């Protein structure tokens, strides 16, 4: 009896030691011969896994190891690795809003200009490329992946009921300025009792995403009170709210999804990536929505990424070659058709597959051309390392306004909070 127990115990201990140990052998395998293994961290829905496989076939000595995660988790673990100074991947995606955070840590990344990135600069949109440079313009953090040019998604039934046009070109002609947008919102409210915009955030973003200078200047100083862009965007959102044009559907919540599905508001101002969500999560609305160009004052970019090469890597050249290939116009075209990643290489917009694109969900419309049109009009913006946090304070103020707060007082309190935040 006792023998049995001690045997059991001994076997348990050795088993757990074995279980732990047997998984450690992976690393050694990658070092064989001249083979190079590239760790590549990716977030969101991409087709990079498939493309990497194709690349491996063409280049048998390169193996690409992709880790896909969700946006926030991805950037948190990237920050941890970069900060620890050890254990970063060979290649990583960085979302445009997160990029500024790493500007100070330029020394922990590979300068892509050193690897010859200048040669391919012409392929990409200028504003997108320039945003990945340092202030002096002699250091390039990453190669452009996708972009997020915003367009206007509008619900045809809502527009029809409000006696507004439903043809995309007629709509963009009518709604060609912020004032015209407000007017159309008035017509929608009167005829259908529906709000034009889903949330205060979207109403605010309309102008915000178009600002070249928002919270910070390029020296990192807060200019929220010196420059009036942010305050104007705030006032515009408040004004729409006071007219009753803004609802309180928070993005990604079930209520918001339901509203998209049922057409409970008139317009969503968003980039091409919203299409993927709508097709999957608002199936009943198939055929109801169309896409058109936003007024030029609202033309902005929302989202998109870069592929950067952390300085730790021992294979920067192989990594660069792969990213150059991955983000070439031909492959961006593939990423667009397979995963809806909107290309940052304008020559794609002329390609046959692109111009003949037709979206069943949008009643057969070629939505891509409207996004492409928007892509060329986007200003080069500077956001600054704490953009997201600072912006959140203003969004809080707007939400408070929606719940009955006084706009001016909320604004002042938000500015005060922002100044407190930056004083750390």
Contact 183, 190 (CB under 8 A): no
| Residue 357 contacts another protein per CB under 8 A | no
9 is a site residue for another protein (CB under 8 A): yes
Identity of the residue, 28 or 34, whose beta carbon is nearer to another protein in the bound complex: 28
| Residues counted in the chain | 424
Q: Work out whether 257 is an interface residue with another protein (CB under 8 A).
A: yes
Contact in structure between 387 and 223 (CB atoms under 8 Å): no
Note whether 54 binds another protein by CB under 8 A. Answer: no
Q: What is d(CA 88, CA 108) in angstroms, rounded to the nearest whole number? A: 10
Pairing label, strands 151-155, 91-95: unpaired
Cβ atoms of 221 and 418 closer than 8 Å: no
Q: Is 12 in the site for another protein (CB under 8 A)?
A: yes
113 binds another protein (CB under 8 A): no
What binding mask, one character per residue, do residues 332-351 give for another protein by CB under 8 A, x or -? --------x-----------
Indicate the residue among 157 and 248 with the shorter CB distance to another protein.
248
Residue closer to another protein by CB (options 71, 351) is 71
Q: Count the neighbouring beta carbons within 10 Å of the beta carbon of residue 317.
A: 14
- 296 is a site residue for another protein (CB under 8 A): no
Residues between 70 and 109 with contacts to another protein, criterion CB under 8 A = 70-71, 73, 76-77, 79-87, 89, 101-102, 104-105, 108
One residue of 53, 284, 360, 408 binding another protein per CB under 8 A: 284
Nearer of residues 69 and 161 to another protein, judged by Cβ? 69
The minimum distance between CB 77 and another protein, in angstroms, equals 5
Q: Is 31 in the site for another protein (CB under 8 A)?
A: no
The full DSSP string for 311-374 is: TT-S-HHHHHHHHHHHTSHHHHHHHHHHH-PPBS-GGGGGSHHHHT--BGGGTTB-THHHHHHH
What are the Cα distances from residue 173, in Å, to 153, 253, 297, 377?
15, 32, 14, 16
Considering the complex, what minimum distance in angstroms separates the CB of residue 104 from another protein? 5
**Site map (CB under 8 A) of another protein, residues 399-418, x = contact:** x---x---------------
Q: What is the largest CA-CA distance in the chain?
A: 89
């Amino acid at each position: 009896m006792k023998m049995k127990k001690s045997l059991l115990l001994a076997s348990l201990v050795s088993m757990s030691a074995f279980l732990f140990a047997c998984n450690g052998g992976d690393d050694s395998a990658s070092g064989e011969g001249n083979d190079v293994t590239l760790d590549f961290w990716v977030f969101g829905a991409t087709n990079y896994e498939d493309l990497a496989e194709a690349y491996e076939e063409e280049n048998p000595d390169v193996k690409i190891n992709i880790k896909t995660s969700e946006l926030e988790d991805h950037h948190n673990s990237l920050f941890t690795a970069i900060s620890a100074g050890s254990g970063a991947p060979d290649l990583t995606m960085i979302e445009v809003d997160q990029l500024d955070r790493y500007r100070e840590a330029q020394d922990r990344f590979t300068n892509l200009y050193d690897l010859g990135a200048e040669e391919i600069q012409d392929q990409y949109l200028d504003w997108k490329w320039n945003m990945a440079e340092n202030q002096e313009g002699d250091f390039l953090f990453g190669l452009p992946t996708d972009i997020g040019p915003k367009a206007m998604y509008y619900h045809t039934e809502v527009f029809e009921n409000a006696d507004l046009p439903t043809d995309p070109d007629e709509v963009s002609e009518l709604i060609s300025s912020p004032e015209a947008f407000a007017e159309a919102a008035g017509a929608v409210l009167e005829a259908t009792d529906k709000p034009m915009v889903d949330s205060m955030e979207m109403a605010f973003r309309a102008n915000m995403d178009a600002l070249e200078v928002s919270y910070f200047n390029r020296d990192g100083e807060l200019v929220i009170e010196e420059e009036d862009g942010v305050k104007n965007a705030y006032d515009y959102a408040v004004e729409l709210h006071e007219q009753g044009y803004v609802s309180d559907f928070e993005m990604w919540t079930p209520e918001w999804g339901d509203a998209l599905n049922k057409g409970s508001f008139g317009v969503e101002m968003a980039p091409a990536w919203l299409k993927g969500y709508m097709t999957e999560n608002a199936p009943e609305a198939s055929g109801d929505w169309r896409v058109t160009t936003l007024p030029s004052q609202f033309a902005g970019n929302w989202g998109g990424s870069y592929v950067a090469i952390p300085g730790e890597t021992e294979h920067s050249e192989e990594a660069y070659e792969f990213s150059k290939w991955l983000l070439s116009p031909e492959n961006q075209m593939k990423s667009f058709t397979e995963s809806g990643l909107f290309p940052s290489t304008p020559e794609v917009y002329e390609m046959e597959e692109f111009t003949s694109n037709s979206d069943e969900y949008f009643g057969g419309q070629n939505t891509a051309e409207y996004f492409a049109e928007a892509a060329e009009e986007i200003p080069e913006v500077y956001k600054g390392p704490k953009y997201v946090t600072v912006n959140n304070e203003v969004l809080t103020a707007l939400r408070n306004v929606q719940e009955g707060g006084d706009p001016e007082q909320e604004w002042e309190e938000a500015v005060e909070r922002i100044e407190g935040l930056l004083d750390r």
